[in-house]
Structure 1
Amino acid sequence: MTTVAKKPQAPDPAYLAAVLRRRQAMRAQLDEAEALFAVADTEAAALLAQQYEATRSTKSDITLPDDETKFAAVTRVPGSAAAQVEDRGAFVAWVRDTYPDHFDYRIIPARTETFVTEEFEAAVLDALTAANSTEYADPDTGLVHQVPGVRMRANRRPYFRWSFTRKSKGQPLTGQELALDAIEAARLDIRTAPELPAAEVEVPVEVIEQ
């Protein structure tokens, strides 16, 4: 018995057109949202950095326009740095003069090379990294040494971590749901940028000479 392959059937033209139309319209809306978000995200990060410099505040609650309903929060995550040897000659000379037990010579054909034991160098750099400083506190003597040839090099810049609130007994909606409901109800306008506050005017102080 011969089986005849079934001819592929094209999708319904009207349904195909509707799906393609919806897909591309959503893409256009997403592109617009991403562009708006990039601007808002940059401005928010700059203002949060300004606030941190002025007040050392590391966390901000985010509320709906009623200024009461919290739906999100943002937290500043500090950067980190690690100690690295940048001037090996200065570092080796410091170890030679301060901790000679951890300093030695290597005889290489045609030349002699000085070096610091790997274990000691790693211990010093780990201690400096933990203290976020180039001052080394000797764990045995308690003496504090300024270590030459070493620099704290940033390996992660500070950044801001954003989060939505979760459901709770008092609030059955997540932060995302609260925000979307407010947008849909026209209680939260995300297309219009907030107005800049009025610039503070410095009042001149009259000095009376006596």
Structure 2
Amino acid sequence: MNLKDTAARAAILGTLHKAIGDELKAAKRELGEGLRAAKQETGTQKISVSLDEGQDIGTASLVQPKAEAAVTDAEKFTAWVIENFKSEVERKFVTSVKPGFQKKLLDQITAAGVAEWADPETGVIHDVPGVEMQGRAAYTRMTVPDAGKQAIAQAWQSGALAHVVLPELTAGGAE
């Protein structure tokens, strides 16, 4: 392949890469919206993904992470740590809780599911001010095992996916 051909190939692949990336973002956004709607309407959170001939190639799921502890009022949280665990405070021009201690507390509070922390040395259970349990946003997860990827590759190579992918790419999405 000569340099001119290589440049043309790079330009074509770059343009297609961008167009496919844009379409993938749009498809994932649409999938997420659809899964959220399905969960509200019917409770469905997982669907199988199939090729036209009905062969299952994977799954798409709506994942709802468990709530996690978060510092919602840094001043109250820091004041509590200063009062109860002075060695875990770093003093600079500003007062802050050591990141390692904060992470440890938040991880343990998340595991407990309430804004309380049990001191392992004393057994005292502390209500931790400035920390609340907060829900996290649901997200979609696509799972396509190797066999599904192989089936997609074969369908692509045979041209069987042209009606699924090519109309979006040739409808002006590529710039």
Tell me the TM-score normalized by structure 1: 0.52
1:191 aligned onto 2:173: no
Partners of 2:60 and 2:134 in 1: CA distance? 26
User: In proportion to residue count, which structure has more helix?
Assistant: 2
Partners of 1:87 and 1:54 in 2: CA distance? 39
Counterpart for residue 63 of structure 2 = 77
Q: Match for 2:166: what amino acid?
A: R
Partners of 1:81 and 1:180 in 2: CA distance? 39
User: Tell me, which stretches of 5 or more residues in structure 1 are unaligned?
Assistant: 1-13, 96-113, 138-144, 167-173, 194-210
Q: Alpha-carbon deviation of 1:146?
A: 8.5
1:19 aligned onto 2:6: yes
Q: Alpha-carbon deviation of 1:54?
A: 3.0
| Identical columns (%) | 21
Quick one: which of 179, 182, 191 aligns to 2:152? 179
Superposition map of 1:56-205 within 5 A? 56-67=43-54, 69-79=55-65, 80-84=67-71, 86=73, 115-117=83-85, 128-134=109-115, 150-154=131-135, 157-166=137-146, 174-188=147-161, 189-192=164-167
Contact 1:84 1:153 in 2 (8 A): no
Q: Match for 1:161: what amino acid?
A: R
Larger radius of gyration: 1
Q: Match for 2:151: what amino acid?
A: L
Q: Relative to structure 1, is the Cα distance of residues 118 and 55 closer, same or farther in structure 2, using a 3 angstrom cutoff? A: farther
Counterpart for residue 91 of structure 2 = none
Contact 1:134 1:146 in 2 (8 A): yes
Q: Using CA pairs below 8 Å that are at least 6 residues apart, which structure has the higher relative contact order? A: 2
Q: Alpha-carbon deviation of 1:64?
A: 0.6
Counterpart for residue 50 of structure 1 = 37
Report the secondary structure of 2:52's partner residue. coil
User: Tell me, which stretches of 5 or more residues in structure 2 are unaligned?
Assistant: 88-101, 119-125, 169-175
RMSD: 3.9
